């Protein structure tokens, strides 16, 4: 058994949501990617110190590798190949198999599991109360759970990347959980699965597909309804707009007017040089769209991760509104950027850095099944129009991978249409938690679907905030949200024990 070393700051940054560009939703990798945490949080040193001191120390973490089946849904000889899938256990607070003590399982998403273990506080914060075993399982094709050599090589290979999808991933989790329960002689220990963002989607889908394995699921910030035509395509950017408008009407107006001003300056013979200097870009702008993409990504990140105590949207608008009297529109926009990024020496606008493992993997997932039709119409947000174009999206995916995406597969396999009517009939024990300042909440479940399919949301909450490590500075509304979730899970487990006693 190997002890896990907690991730370093740079490793944690790899978890960040990176909106590569948002000028056009045609390119599959230009859609805002899902992730539990964004790097703007890490710049707050007090928060950084808190999460690392509060998270489980490495001495209580043990790393294992399960010999996982490559293909759960085929019986060709090559389907029986295996790979080593990483999972991590913290048994510090577990009451043991003799007590049928619960098992909390965190479902890894589009990154190595290390960073999640460092920041996901819901498991270690509540394990003492429940006497729960904590288990963290890494998603196939990420971290140390890549079936073939490296992520880059695996995704390049036309045959191997076919095994890289959500259905295979949750089947992996099912195998690992069953194996663990057998290994620990914990047959009657109830399992609660937890996930955030894409991982939250996996948690809800896991409960739907494997109710015999997981008693319940906590799905944090899981936009399971942002597929097909269920959610309006401008849902994401409409909430970004609402967040800024609520903080400051003048800030919102300045941003809305800035796009035309950028184009006006760029149209001059030396316009791109002027913009490059004004916005301190690390390299010379090739076109005005690069700057607009960067700003759109910045505003979207600020809204998605508008967490206390820093509240990035307030920081950004404070810079825009607080610029010296007489400052022009673009000067105010830059002042907001400085306030948000703590005055960087330069800004990497339009730069194409070497993609991370997460970016490589998520690009393929977007080009296979995770097709979020996110776009913007004319004058329906504070941003320039960029309608979602499925035809162009498919063409781009074909050029990248030689195959088209399956934009309707998620709703075919997991459901989504008429969700209240459908899930009310057969589903149970799922918490859909959301913060309404999170743009992805537009695709989340925001109302109770039944007595056991429950929506827990907060007006001021942001992306996955409820499952991050609790801090002394947390506002009361966040503390209350977490208490409500714990109470619901407590009820599920109590009922399970009562049923177990009655049946055995």
297 Cβ neighbours under 8 A, 6+ residues apart? 19, 20, 21, 22
**Residue of 24, 293, 463, 466 with catalytic role:** 463
Compute CA distances 453 → 104, 106, 167, 430, 433, whole Å.
19, 19, 22, 5, 11
**Residue of 243, 293, 438, 466 with catalytic role:** 438
Report the distance separating Cα 111 and Cα 108, nearest Å: 7
The tokens for 110 are 């589009």
Residue among 143, 129, 212, 225 at smallest CA distance from 177: 212
Active site residue 7: no
- Alpha helix positions (H), 192-328: 198-209, 235-247, 249-266, 271-278, 288-304, 312-321
Active site residue 91: no
Dihedral sign (CA 476, 477, 482, 485): positive
Residue among 12, 17, 4 at smallest CA distance from 119: 12
Active site residue 328: no
Report the distance separating Cα 302 and Cα 316, nearest Å: 8
DSSP track, 306-324: --TTT-HHHHHHHHHHTSP
Residue 45: exposure state from Cβ atoms within 10 A (0-12, 13-18, ≥19): exposed
**Residue of 25, 197, 248, 300 with catalytic role:** 197
Three-state SS for 283-299 is CCCCCHHHHHHHHHHHH
Ramachandran region, residue 387 (left: φ > 0; alpha: ψ -120 to 50; beta: rest): beta
139 — phi, psi (to 5°)?
-70, 135
Report the distance separating Cα 333 and Cα 265, nearest Å: 14
- Consecutive H or E run containing 86: strand 82-90
Which letter does DSSP use for residue 74 in this model?
Answer: -
> Annotated catalytic sites, by residue?
197, 438, 463
């Amino acid at each position: 058994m190997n002890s896990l070393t907690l991730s370093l700051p740079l490793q944690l940054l790899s978890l960040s949501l990176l909106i590569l560009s948002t000028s056009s939703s045609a390119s599959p990798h230009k859609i805002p990617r899902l992730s539990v945490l964004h790097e703007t949080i890490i710049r707050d040193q007090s928060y950084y110190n808190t999460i690392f001191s509060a998270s489980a120390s490495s001495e209580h973490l043990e790393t294992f590798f399960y010999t996982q089946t490559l293909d759960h849904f085929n019986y060709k000889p090559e389907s029986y190949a295996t790979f080593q899938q990483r999972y991590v256990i913290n048994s510090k607070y577990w009451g043991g198999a003799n007590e049928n003590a619960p098992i909390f399982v965190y479902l890894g998403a589009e990154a190595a599991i290390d960073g999640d273990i460092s920041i996901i506080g819901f498991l270690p914060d509540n394990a003492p109360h429940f006497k729960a075993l904590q288990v963290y399982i890494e998603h196939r094709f990420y971290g140390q759970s890549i079936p073939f050599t490296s992520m880059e090589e695996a995704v390049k290979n036309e045959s191997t990347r076919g095994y890289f999808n959500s259905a295979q991933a949750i089947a992996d989790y099912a195998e690992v959980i069953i194996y663990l329960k057998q290994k620990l002689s914990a047959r009657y220990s109830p399992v609660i699965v937890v996930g955030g963002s894409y991982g939250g989607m996996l948690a809800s889908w896991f409960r739907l597909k494997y109710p015999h394995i997981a008693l319940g699921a906590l799905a944090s910030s899981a936009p399971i309804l942002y597929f097909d035509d269920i959610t309006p395509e401008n849902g994401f950017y409409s909430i970004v707009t609402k967040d800024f408008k609520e903080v400051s009407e003048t800030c919102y107006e300045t941003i809305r007017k800035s796009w035309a001003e950028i184009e006006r300056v760029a149209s001059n013979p030396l316009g791109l040089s002027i913009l490059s200097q004004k916005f301190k870009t690390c390299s010379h702008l090739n076109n005005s769209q690069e700057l607009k993409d960067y700003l759109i990504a910045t505003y979207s990140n600020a809204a998605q991760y508008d967490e206390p105590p820093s509240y990035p949207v307030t920081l950004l608008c404070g810079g825009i509104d607080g610029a010296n009297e007489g400052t022009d529109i673009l000067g105010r926009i830059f002042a907001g950027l400085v306030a948000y990024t703590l005055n960087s020496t330069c800004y990497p606008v339009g730069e194409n850095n070497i993609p991370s493992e997460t970016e490589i993997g998520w690009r393929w997932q977007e080009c296979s099944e995770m097709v979020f039709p996110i776009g913007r119409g004319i004058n329906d947000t504070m941003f320039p129009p960029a309608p979602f174009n499925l035809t162009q999206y498919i063409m781009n995916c074909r050029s990248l991978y030689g195959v088209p995406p399956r934009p309707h597969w998620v709703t075919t396999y997991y459901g989504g249409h008429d969700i209240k009517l459908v899930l009310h009939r057969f589903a149970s024990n799922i918490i859909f938690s959301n913060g309404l300042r999170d743009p992805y909440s537009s695709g989340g479940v925001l109302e109770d679907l039944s007595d056991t399919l429950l929506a827990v949301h907060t007006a001021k909450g942001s992306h996955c905030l409820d499952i991050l490590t609790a801090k002394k500075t947390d506002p009361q509304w966040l503390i209350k949200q977490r208490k409500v979730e714990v109470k619901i899970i407590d009820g599920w487990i109590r009922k399970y024990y009562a049923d177990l006693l009655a049946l055995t």
